[in-house]
Amino acid sequence: MKLFVDTGSLKEIETVAALGIIDGVTTNPSLLAKEPGDFRQNLKKICDIVKGPVSGEVTATDFAGMMREGHDIAAIDDHMVVKVPLTRDGIKACKALSGEGLRVNVTLCFSAAQALLAAKAGATYISPFVGRLDDVAMNGMDLIREIVQIYDNYEFTTQVLVASCRHPIHVVESAKMGADVATCPPAVIDQLFNHPLTNIGLEKFLKDWEKAQAVKV
C-alpha cells in the first residue's frame, strides 16, 4: 500500500519525505491556505521534494472553471494530480480531464455509489473520507471495504485512496482491506512508528551492551 502525506506544509513534507517511506502528497484548499506564499509555487516545490503524485484541488464549482483550473494545476509539474469534488460537474470534469490523459483524484467521497461514478468517469484515485464518516457515527472503514469489493468485481483501475485518516488503525485496516493508498497527516505517520516495546527493548539492548563494555575495560 502506498503512503501519502496529507498536508500543504513544505516544512512537514520535507521532514516526512526524509524518512524515505512517502510515495506522494495530498493537499486540499484548507491545507494550502495555511501555507504562506503562492500556492502554485508551493505545489511545484512539493513536487520537487517528493517526486511522486501530488494532488492539487480545483476551487471552481462549475465544469468550465474546473477544466480551466485543472489544466492550470496539471501544468505546474508532471507529478501533479488534479483533484475535483464528487459533484455532477466534478465527475464531468474527471471524465474530460482523464480523457486528455491527466490524472484525476475525485475527492469528498462518502458513499459506494459515488465511488462507482468516479471509477466510471476514469478517475485515477477515489478519496473516501473515513474520519469524517466516523465523526457522524458511520463506520468509515465499512465504506472502504465496499469500494474495494466493487472495484475488484469489475476490475476498475481507479485506486482507492483512503483519506481523512485520523489514527494508525485507519492505516492498518486500509492495508488489510487492500486499499491502494492511505493519506495521513504527518502526526499520524509519526504514530505509525511508535511501540513501547521497541523503546523498552532498545533501552535494554544498549544498557546490556554498555555493561559488557565496562566489564571488558
Tell the burial category of 166 from Cβ atoms under 10 Å away from its Cβ (0-12, 13-18, 19+): middle
Stretch that binds ligand E4P, among 11-19, 37-45, 126-134, 194-202 (CB under 6 A): 126-134
Q: How far apart are CB 130 and ligand E4P at their closest, in Å?
A: 9
Of the two residues 54 and 76, which places its CB atom closer to ligand E4P in the complex? 54
Q: What is the radius of gyration, based on Cα positions, of the chain?
A: 20
All residues at 6 or more sequence positions from 96 whose CB lies less than 8 Å from its CB, including other chains: 63, 67
**Could you give the C-alpha distances from 204 to 115, 195, 200, 207, 216, in angstroms and in order?**
49, 15, 6, 5, 18
Q: Total number of residues binding ligand E4P (CB under 6 A)? A: 11
**Packing angle of the helix pair 140-154, 168-177 (nearest 10 deg):** 20
Distance, C-alpha 88 to centroid of its chain: 23
State in angstroms the smallest separation of the CB of 200 from ligand E4P.
32
Residue 11 is among the residues annotated as catalytic for this protein: no
Residues 57-116 that bind ligand E4P (CB under 6 A): 107
Site map for ligand E4P, 7-46, x if CB under 6 A? -------------------x-x------------------
**Residue from the set 164, 179, 182, 188 that interacts with ligand E4P by CB under 6 A:** 164
Smallest Cα–Cα separation from 183: which of 194, 174, 193?
A: 174
Using the rule CB under 6 A, give the single segment among 64-72, 124-132, 142-150, 151-159 that binds ligand E4P. Answer: 124-132
Based on the shown chain and the rule CB under 6 A, indicate whether residue 124 belongs to the binding site for ligand E4P: no
Q: How far is the CB of 164 from ligand E4P (least distance, A)?
A: 3
Separation between Cα atoms, residue 217 and residue 214, nearest integer Å: 5
* Cα→Cα distances 3→55, 69, 149, 203, Å: 13, 26, 21, 29
Q: Which is the catalytic residue, given 11, 83, 95, 211?
A: 83
Among 1, 44, 96, 131, binds ligand E4P (CB under 6 A): 131
Footprint of ligand E4P (CB under 6 A): 6, 26, 28, 107, 127, 129, 131-132, 163-164, 183
Question: What residues are annotated to the active site?
Answer: 83
